[in-house]
Chains A and B, each alone.
Chain A
Amino acid sequence: MNCNNNYKDPMEVLGRSKGHSYEELIENLPRHYEFNPTLLQQIKNIPEAILRNHGSSIAKKINRMVKEVFKEAYRAEQFTRTEINNKSVLYGVVLLKHKVIDIVLKYFHKRWPNCVICLYNEYNQKTGIINEEGIIQEVKEPLQKVIDRLSKNRSISPYFEDIEFSNEEIFEALYQSQNITERENLRFFNSMIPKNCYKLPGMRKGVEKKYNNKNRKLDDFIK
């Protein structure tokens, strides 16, 4: 496989040897909100080495799109804050531009296999539901209505009703207790939670927001 000047060097397009396989791209590209079916045709015409390693402008575009899809799903898994009611219905609000609600629902299903999980997507105003068997459906109904409907025929299993504090209070107490002020590193902190994350429903009122540089008041800096 020695190269000479006439032979197109395959290594030139290897990029950092990262990227996704054909199967992954074909499966996940249609999740992107700007997906166009002609893109799938184009994928089939590009050699895998080029596609996998961002070797052309179209390959770069496709990889960027798939990256956006996975990133959004991961952020939703990270920063969606959920609640559970006494009928084993776990619910929360998400903001998903791409069609990744099934990935996020499966993530919660793995953690709470005995609960029905409802996630309301603010972007398309639909509620995604996954039941105990792992069957997914999406309905164009507000979250509360879906929760009430699903809770109706389920038996009561009191989870945490006797805890008198709100979710926010408990998390804030834990969060603030973990901060080592002597090691404060806001630059690193901001890179870990970029400003876009504060637009997600779970983070809008999050305690983390107080520490974001842009939300700090002059007094905080003087102190």
Chain B
Amino acid sequence: MPSTLEKIRILGSNSKYDICASTASSRTNKYPELFGKSKNWIGATTSAGICHSYTPDGRCMSLFKTLFTNKCIYSCKYCFSQSCKQKLSFTPEEYARIFMKLYSMNVVEGVFITSGVCGSADDTTEEMLEAVRLLRFKYKFQGYIHFKCLPGLSQHLLKEAISLSDRISVNSEASTASFLSEIAEQKDFKNDIITRQRWLKQIRIKHNEDVLKELKDKKKEYELKYQEKMIKEYNQNGYKKFRWDGAPILNGGQTTQFVIGAAEGETDLDLLNRIDWQYKAVDMRRAYFSAFIPLEGTPLAKRNAPPLEREHRLYQSDWLLRIYHYKLKDLKDILTEEGNLPHGDPKIHFARQYFKNHSPIDPNEASYQELLRVPGIGPISAKRIINLQKQNYRFQRRIQLKSVGVVLKRADPFLKIDGQNQMTLQNFLNDDKNILFQEGIQ
């Protein structure tokens, strides 16, 4: 009989390739009675989370992240559990207690519960849910829970998982059905993944609307106003403002994860197309990318690992879509012929492309969207500039931009202040005024 320690070691290492953020929910204070009335609640959620430790690869370790079981009916070619010969499972009680022990030690902030599929998705999820129920109702844990939706899960269990969790993720693994069948042939892309993502969106919206009605009945004016404001913003802006922070349940929304470079021929364009669709259609909060690592004992052991830089570029592009609200077609312009992102920061590539046909922008006149096209200007500094424009403040020197948070060394070539633009080397060489210099070269 393996000890609990042995289980943590093995099931923890089986789940280490799953990616998650630290706590991404700020629900506790707004809804203190979400899981029932009790004075004995334990735990808290903070929106940014606290990282209590970091592993030598630099990733923060803020959640108790292990598989519930590594027994699995699927044989995904990239998966670690393929090569793991020792098959183990936690019992729900064991899982809940060991987490509470870790929480009392102040080494974790919350739970990330995931699993292999043992028997059927419903059987395994039932066990996982039992562990979550124990946490919520026996141990009175009110903190952050990230629940992994297994492929093929029934709707009634998904509903329960939603009502108990802060965030749920359905792993897409690949961008299209054909790429998924290449690396995990037993999984049905449309049914196991897309349908579950759609359900998550529908159930969450339905639940939140019901809560609204309840709030109206109970005449809780403050909460009601907050909710209505959020829904209005959501309806007006579509996926651009998909954050629904006031949501009573599933406050952290749904996320997904892709394995980068496992399926041969899958390009960055395929992945960007998929995440763009997910942001628009299924109310995705964010996507995670995990560069494929060939593991001994798996069918893909001899496949080359993609460079980690690819993962980084995808995160940068995802950020441009999600936070900067770039259009996907903007990003398509900078892709290489093979459909991959080029080396270097995608935003700088995009700016170089864009400013070939456009003159440098004047921060005193530019709109918010134009400002965001300039490398070195992010949403916060763009908002500050727009606020200053409204106050009729005029930037007359570069240093003034630095004081609102603009990174000048990146932004300079694309800006024009008081009619003057920093000269790039290329422009300098092409400039007719520098005849002497050009003669000197010749």
Complex CA–CA separation, A202 to B98 (angstroms): 20
Which residues from chain A sit less than 8 Å from chain B, CB to CB? 1-3, 9, 11-17, 53, 74, 77-84, 90, 92, 108, 110-114, 159-160, 163, 165, 167, 169-171, 173-186, 188-189, 191-193, 202, 206, 208, 211
| Contact residues in A for B55 (Cβ distance below 8 Å) | 175, 178-180, 189
State whether the Cβ of B54 lies closer than 8 Å to any Cβ in chain A.
yes
Complex: chain B residue closest to A186, CB-CB: B56
B211 at the interface (CB under 8 A from A): no
**Which residue of the partner chain, among A2, A112, A178, A191, contacts B16 with CB atoms under 8 Å?**
A178
- CB-CB < 8 A to B403: which residues of A? 11-17, 53
CB-based contact B105/A159 at 8 Å: no
A124 CA / B10 CA spacing, docked (Å)? 43
Tell me the smallest distance from the CB of A187 to a CB of chain B, in Å: 8
Q: How far is the CB of B186 from chain A (nearest CB, A)?
A: 26
Cα distance A17–B404 in the bound complex, in angstroms: 6
Q: List 27 A–B pairs whose Cβ atoms lie within 8 Å, in order of A's numbering.
A: A1-B393, A11-B393, A14-B403, A15-B403, A17-B405, A77-B50, A82-B104, A111-B106, A113-B41, A160-B101, A163-B97, A171-B105, A173-B12, A174-B8, A177-B16, A177-B66, A178-B55, A179-B16, A182-B293, A184-B57, A189-B54, A189-B56, A191-B58, A192-B51, A192-B58, A202-B106, A211-B56
Chain B: how many interface residues by the 8 Å CB criterion? 58
Cα–Cα, bound, A183→B309 (Å): 12
Check if B102 sits within 8 Å of A12, measured CB to CB. no
Q: In the assembly, what is the distance between CA of A80 and CA of B98, in Å?
A: 19
Residues in B with CB closer than 8 Å to A15 are 403
Contact of B369 with A by CB under 8 A: no
CB pair A78 B51 closer than 8 Å = yes
In the complex, what residues of B have CB within 8 A of residue A192's CB? 51, 54, 58, 60
Known A160-B100, A170-B5: A14·B404 in contact at CB below 8 Å = yes
Q: Which one of B175-183, B240-248, B331-339, B394-402 contacts A? A: B394-402
Binary contact track B1-23/A, C-beta < 8 Å → 1, others 0: 00111001111110011000000
Does residue B61 face the partner (Cβ distance < 8 Å to A)? yes
- Bound-state CA distance A188–B103 (Å) is 26
CA–CA, A182 to B56, complex, Å? 10
A16 to B11, CA, bound (A): 45
With the chains together, A159 CA to B42 CA distance in Å? 12
A170 to B58, CA, bound (A): 21
B13 touches A82 (CB 8 A): no
Q: Are A171 and B17 in contact (CB under 8 A)?
A: no
